[in-house]
Structure 1
């Protein structure tokens, strides 16, 4: 069953790459229908990934409110699960929800989501979760600038550099570089 779920997930991803997004979404729905009630950690992970991909695809189709509902569903189903395999998709779902809220001019709500990510995963040692935290902080800084709160944004950019400046992970190095760039162009 796990291999079938993985194959379906890959099928959905491939359909998306072929720009066959409605078929892609249908495959993600099929994964959820088949395995959404399964308690197996491996299948729960595949369902979470399928839902995450569905939400991201909905964003690309300018269906932000529907995407937010999907991200909320991921958080409700898996947000309390301590499994590392599920923590990363939940963090990514929250991050995408925050970014989408910002795009929908709901900046204060977006900031709350970015803060939630930092509170939940800010002390985690996993490189993948540290990356999500830095992305959340970076997006919080961008959102603060959009809300004309440049001083707060500058503090966030400094925090990223201080907390993660010594980390040698390529993904984190990229986020630090973006934070420093944003700091340089942020009005105070």
Structure 2
């Protein structure tokens, strides 16, 4: 969260603007997520330019490098596990429909610094996330707390579980431990 906050200062009076020309924001978010995984003990697998990754466990694959870049449409980061690999879809501050449709009906993880809890709290949206293949969606603690308060108040707790019967929505602080628990093992542990 601290690294994200440095990239996106909220106090505009103290924001001098970008140091240089802004780059690909999506790539920055992917690399930030990759760094979180690396710090948790799940390093990025080496992928020499235009080559396949050199598989190692535990490890993750950036789907924008080497020959894996041809699979970029499926997601941003791959976590190897059984019965199907997990695909992490990394977004920045807003989910909108871009997150919903990024799972491509394969087992997916959402990761982002989402600011609007109301993007996630309707029963219809929760059903759609599960139908599209999401096992978990990680967000900042503040957004998560607001989301869960609303879900509980509305009595929609039954909708906010994944296919494994565990929470669909999770605070971003749980991301590292959850990925470390499933990498090279089973996505059913989510």
TM-based fold match above 0.5: no
Higher strand share: 2
Higher helix share: 1
Greater RCO (CA < 8 Å, at least 6 residues apart): 2
| TM-score normalised according to structure 2 size | 0.30
| TM-score normalised according to structure 1 size | 0.31
